[in-house]
Amino acid sequence: MLRIHFADNRQEPIWLADERFTIGQDERNHLVLNEADVSPFHAEIRQDHGHYYLSDCGTRNGTLVNGERIGARYQLRSEDRVKIGAVELVLVDPAKVKPKAAPTARWFLQVIKGENEGRKYHVTGSMTFGRSVKCELCFSDLELSRRHAEFFLKDDVLEIKDLASANGVYVNQQKVGTAVLTPGDQVRMASVTLLVIGPKVDVRQAADEDATQFVRVVDLPKPAPAAAREVSQPASANPLRAVAPAPAEAAASVAANEDAKGRLVLIGGIVIAVLGIGAAVATFVL
């Protein structure tokens, strides 16, 4: 028996157990694809004597198998890749596939408030959250939209996207449209709060090209010191040059000199007078 796998792991695999399996946008299909380029009834797979035949339902965008557009009753085989709109499906025969070791669960969503409190959900591929019974994470809160949000897990990176819900999606109390989730984040939708549980982030020593890097500067020769600004300083005493007297001292010196000159003039006058008298006496005697 063949099984349908989603190439992007958005949903769990689906067994082709019914004789007729329909695919399209309409809710009455076995597989509902809410994509703009998918018709309401896009394609169907019929089982006939152990063989599977795929037919396109006359759609405008067509149905591709391994890159080629097909019409009616194309026989499917294991590992065929079917593309309907932007969705790629892979046909797998489990009997021909070697079993692989189940990957270690790494990401979980645990309800810490609201309906199903304490329950833990393992995140795989793409999972929708809302009131619809077709959601992988189905809750009955009337404040939730039928398809409220979608969780994507790809390359070990978990993201959430608001599917145009009425009451929004909040990550750590911040309203978001889309967001990358990290372990410890709290996601609130209506009355339900989910705790994100995931692997610890490995801090690698490899340099990040976008990160600021600090490199030791090469030791450069120290620049010559700038010429010291000339500052006028008192000249040192020169023993060969007399120091100019202060103004008060100069005035006192001038006064002393004038007094000495006056005394000399007086003495000179007395001497001349004495000499004159002596000359007169000598003349009289003779």
Give tens-digit pLDDT for 112-145. 999 999 999 999 889 999 999 889 999 999 999 9
Residue 206 has pLDDT above 50, yes or no: no
Q: What is the pLDDT, as a whole number, of residue 183?
A: 94
pLDDT band for position 247 (cuts 50, 70, 90): low
Integer Cα distance of 127 and 284 in angstroms: 160
Residues in the chain: 286
Q: Which of 31, 25, 11 is CA-nearest to residue 137?
A: 11
Sequence-ordered list of residues with C-beta below 8 angstroms from that of 127, at least 6 positions apart, any chain: 121, 135, 136, 137, 150, 151
Strands 20-24 and 31-32: parallel
Q: What is the pLDDT of residue 194?
A: 97
∠ at Cα 3 (59, 92), nearest 5°?
100
In angstroms, the CA 56 to CA 174 distance is 44
∠ CA 49-50-53 to the nearest 5 degrees? 90
CATH code matching the domain that covers 3-96, chosen among 3.40.50.1000, 3.30.1510.10, 1.20.1440.230, 2.60.200.20: 2.60.200.20
The H or E element spanning position 250 is helix 247-285
Domain extents in the chain: 3-96, 108-197
Q: What is the pLDDT of residue 142?
A: 94
Tokens 């976008």 correspond to 210
Furthest-apart CA atoms within the chain: distance in Å: 193
**CA 160/CA 127 separation, integer angstroms:** 10
Which tens digit of pLDDT belongs to each residue from 45-90? Answer: 999 988 999 999 999 999 999 999 999 999 999 999 999 999 999 9
DSSP state of 283: H
* Single-letter code of the amino acid located at 78: S
The pLDDT-based confidence of 104 (bands split at 50, 70, 90) is low
On the question of pLDDT at 269 being above 70, the answer is no
110 compared with 227, residue with greater pLDDT: 110
Give the range among 49-53, 157-161, 228-232 with minimum mean pLDDT: 228-232
Q: How confident is the model at residue 177 (pLDDT cuts 50, 70, 90)?
A: very high
pLDDT reported for residue 26: 95
Q: How far apart are CA 231 and CA 212, in angstroms?
A: 47
Q: 251 pLDDT band (50/70/90 cuts)?
A: low
The predicted pLDDT at position 203 comes to: 35
Report the percentage of the chain scoring pLDDT > 90: 55
3-state secondary structure at position 167: coil
Q: What is the DSSP string of 182-203?
A: -TT-EEEETTEEEEEE-PPPP-
pLDDT for residue 285: 47
* Same fold flag, 3-96 and 108-197: yes
Taking residues 155-165, report their average pLDDT: 93
Topology adopted by domain 108-197? Tumour Suppressor Smad4 (2.60.200)
As given in the structure block, the two tokens for residue 112 are: 């810490």
Q: What's the rounded Cα separation, in Å, for the pair 57 and 38?
A: 11
Report the pLDDT value the prediction gives residue 143, as an integer from 0 to 100.
95
3-class state of residue 281 by DSSP: helix
Contact 181, 171 (CB under 8 A): yes
pLDDT surpassing 80 at residue 169: yes
Mean pLDDT of the 225-236 span: 49
33 has pLDDT over 90: yes
